[in-house]
């Protein structure tokens, strides 16, 4: 009932999902950490700080910054003193995994994270949070974030003392920093330096400010991005931007609907780039499924062909292994490009020549918006994400170009002919969406979230799967439509077609129930004691069904109706063929 009309539902509002979406919007406002942060968010901070769950132990107030930036949670059970509206907001945020999530943070963002109860630290860090040295660091050294503790852990006097190789830490340092600490109340500045170093070592590599990837020169500069814009408009060569580093304010890294499994994955670093040899370049011609191809009926939905003209990989005819991911604009090109990216060496340039601009629009126009929106409502998202994931792992340039010149169009025609020849030899190879977890960006960016988008995301996560009987009927209708020239075979076209304004509401309801197998006929009555006889046609003595009632039944009423329909049809000068159940619904 709650599904969109294009998916076979009635488009009714799911009140529970709507309320959850509103709570996520409150979370979005609460996590606006800039100068526009609302005043009520400060009151929420105070309420959360005095209602910490017992599992997290005693947390000093000076160690608390924000539950979404640290590894502690407020108490939300029934006896908690938190207001009910705050409990709902926190529980909803936790349920849909609102968290700080990025494939890779830049050094400045890592340094701005709170050091106490660090969200990317080992379990040992929890013991260090409440040690006497940690209390001194908070009270006398004013340590709050990673940058503060990094300055103390890298003091020159402490570095020189550590080089001696023994565990003895002197307390007689008279450097300006240590003297300042003593005046602030610290009794043993060197011990605090050691505690700072130990705390810093407990941060996992993905979140550690000292972990930096080697510069490979593949991320696009502003000048390169401008060239890409010109090439996009003029049909030139576009270079894929593999940059994965999140920069800016911490609030930009908050996401919702995040996969918690990728939180502490190793750093997303590309292998060190070596010397690029142009002789090892791989050139691929990509063609998708065309309606005007003579083999279109034999060519499965979502099929793509990658023809290798330079390089050591084999040409391949592929299609998505997941049937639900075979129907989106540019599907064939995306699948073929993914297959080529998986097979091609990552340290050699890869150049794609495309038969259409669909894949270019996906990668160079829609990708940033789709990633910000968490791929919610994007058809074929699984395979597009896998393609982007593989391209970002490459250590050499990757370019895309739509065939434009006469020679390029001739090359594409050759690729199509080769594809058709390959199809005659056998069916396409099934391709799985392969992703590396470290390069996997999940969830929707919280500060880009709207209530409508949150509602869609919640419905995608919580909606039950489509009814199996509905899927059988829809697939049969679509298979029948493929045999009709120029007929729309998309599922959305079927559901929207029965709602055409020329069709009466009662007929629309009848057809809708027919596709869903929701009419109370046949098998429906076999499960109701005392009414089993209604499952059988009283005239033919066969099991009743919609197909039997409309097509096969020998009762006089059915044949009379079809005779009248035939007479009306032939008045238009059309040739009458007796319809099948797929023609009706």
* pLDDT of res. 579: 85
65: Cα within 13 Å, side-chain hemisphere: 19
Closest of 373, 439, 431 to residue 213, by C-alpha:
439
* pLDDT of res. 102: 86
Residues of the chain with pLDDT under 50: none
6: Cα within 13 Å, side-chain hemisphere: 6
Supply 63's token pair: 């160690």
Indicate the SS3 state at residue 580. coil
The span from the CA of 20 to the CA of 96, in Å, is 10
Task: Please give the span between the terminal C-alpha atoms of the chain, in angstroms, as a whole number.
Answer: 19
The span from the CA of 248 to the CA of 261, in Å, is 24
Q: Is 575 left (phi over 0), alpha (psi -120 to 50) or beta?
A: beta
Indicate the SS3 state at residue 413. helix
Closest of 65, 155, 55 to residue 115, by C-alpha:
65
Closest of 204, 220, 472, 428 to residue 316, by C-alpha:
428
* pLDDT of res. 275: 60
Q: What is the DSSP string of 566-578?
A: HHHHHTTTPPP-P
* pLDDT of res. 404: 92
Output phi, psi for 82, to 5 deg. -65, 140
Buried b (16+ CB within 10 A) or exposed e, 133-159: bbebbbebbebbbbbbbbebbebebbe
Closest of 410, 327, 356 to residue 418, by C-alpha:
410
* pLDDT of res. 298: 64
Q: Are the C-beta atoms of residues 431 and 338 closer than 8 Å to each other? A: yes
Closest of 488, 506, 477, 498 to residue 580, by C-alpha:
477
Placement of tokens 């259409």 in the chain: 356
The span from the CA of 336 to the CA of 288, in Å, is 8
Residue 288 DSSP symbol: -
* This prediction's pTM: 0.87
Closest of 295, 297, 417 to residue 355, by C-alpha:
417
Supply 369's token pair: 């918006």
- Long-range interactions of 69-72: CB distance < 8 A, separation 24+: 69/100, 69/113, 69/114, 69/119, 69/250, 70/114, 70/116, 70/117, 70/118, 70/119, 71/117, 71/118, 71/119, 71/121, 71/126, 72/117
State the pairing for strand pair 304-310/282-287. Answer: antiparallel
* pLDDT of res. 133: 92
Torsion, Cα of 434, 266, 378, 315 (10° steps): -30
The span from the CA of 187 to the CA of 132, in Å, is 11
The span from the CA of 185 to the CA of 4, in Å, is 64
Residue 145 DSSP symbol: B
The span from the CA of 339 to the CA of 433, in Å, is 9
* pLDDT of res. 266: 78
What is the C-alpha radius of gyration for the chain, rounded to an integer number of angstroms?
A: 31
Domains of the chain (ranges, CATH numbers): 1-102+249-259+445-464 (no CATH), 122-202 (no CATH), 222-243+267-442 (3.30.420.10), 468-583 (no CATH)
Placement of tokens 């009932």 in the chain: 1
SS (H, E, C) 433-461: CCCCHHHCCCCEEHHHCCHHHHHHHHHHH
Give 85's contacts (C-beta < 8 A, 6+ positions apart).
Answer: none
Torsion, Cα of 539, 544, 550, 556 (10° steps): 0
* pLDDT of res. 273: 58
């Amino acid at each position: 009932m709650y599904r969109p009309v294009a998916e076979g539902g009635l488009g009714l509002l799911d009140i529970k999902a709507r309320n959850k979406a509103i709570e996520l919007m409150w979370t979005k406002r609460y996590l606006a950490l800039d100068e526009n942060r609302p005043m009520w968010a400060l009151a929420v901070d105070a309420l959360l700080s005095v209602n910490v769950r017992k599992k997290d132990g005693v947390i000093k107030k000076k160690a608390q910054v924000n539950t979404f930036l640290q590894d502690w949670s407020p108490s939300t059970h029934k006896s908690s003193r938190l207001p009910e509206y705050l409990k709902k907001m926190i529980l909803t945020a936790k349920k849909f995994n609102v968290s700080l999530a990025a494939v890779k943070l830049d050094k400045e963002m890592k340094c701005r994270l709170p050091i106490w109860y660090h969200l990317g630290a080992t379990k040992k860090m929890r013991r260090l949070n409440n040690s006497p040295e940690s209390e001194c660091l908070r009270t006398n050294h004013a340590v709050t974030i990673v940058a503060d503790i990094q300055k103390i852990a890298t003091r020159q006097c402490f570095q020189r003392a550590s080089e001696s190789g023994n565990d003895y830490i002197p307390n007689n340092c008279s450097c300006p920093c240590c003297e300042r600490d003593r005046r602030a109340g610290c009794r043993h500045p060197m011990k605090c330096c050691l505690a700072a170093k130990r705390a810093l070592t407990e941060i996992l590599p993905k979140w550690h400010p000292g972990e930096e990837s080697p510069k490979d020169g593949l991320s696009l500069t502003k000048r390169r991005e401008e060239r890409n814009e010109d090439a996009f408009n003029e049909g030139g060569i576009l270079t894929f931007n593999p940059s994965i580093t999140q920069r800016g304010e911490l609030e930009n890294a908050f996401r919702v609907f995040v996969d918690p499994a990728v939180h502490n994955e190793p750093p997303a670093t590309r292998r060190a780039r070596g010397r690029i040899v142009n002789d090892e370049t791989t050139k691929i011609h990509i063609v998708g499924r065309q309606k005007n191809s003579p083999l279109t009926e034999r060519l499965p939905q979502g099929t793509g062909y990658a023809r290798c003209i330079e390089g050591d990989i084999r040409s391949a005819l592929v299609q998505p292994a997941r049937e639900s991911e075979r129907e989106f604009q540019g599907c064939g090109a995306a699948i073929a490009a993914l297959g080529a990216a998986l097979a091609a060496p990552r340290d050699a340039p890869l150049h794609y020549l495309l038969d259409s601009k669909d894949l270019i629009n996906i990668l160079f126009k829609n990708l940033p918006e789709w990633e910000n929106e968490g791929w919610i409502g994007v058809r074929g998202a699984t395979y597009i994400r896998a393609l982007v994931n593989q391209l970002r792992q490459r250590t050499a340039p990757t370019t895309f170009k739509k065939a434009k010149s006469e020679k390029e169009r001739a090359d594409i025609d050759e690729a199509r002919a080769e594809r058709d020849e390959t199809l005659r030899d056998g069916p396409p190879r099934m391709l799985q969406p392969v992703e590396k977890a470290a390069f996997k960006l999940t969830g929707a960016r919280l500060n880009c979230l709207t209530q409508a988008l949150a509602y869609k995301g919640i419905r995608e996560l919580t909606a039950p799967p489509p009814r199996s009987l509905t899927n059988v009927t829809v697939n049969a209708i679509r298979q029948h439509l493929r045999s009709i020239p120029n007929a729309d075979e998309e599922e959305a076209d079927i559901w929207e077609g029965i709602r055409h304004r020329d069709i009466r509401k009662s007929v629309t309801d009848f057809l809708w129930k027919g596709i869903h197998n929701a009419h109370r006929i046949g098998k429906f009555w076999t499960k109701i004691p005392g009414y089993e006889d209604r499952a059988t046609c009283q005239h033919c003595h066969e099991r009743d069904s919609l197909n039997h009632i409309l097509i096969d039944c020998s009762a006089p009423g059915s044949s009379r109706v079809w005779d009248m329909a035939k007479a009306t049809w032939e008045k238009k000068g059309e040739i009458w063929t007796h319809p099948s159940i797929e023609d009706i619904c």
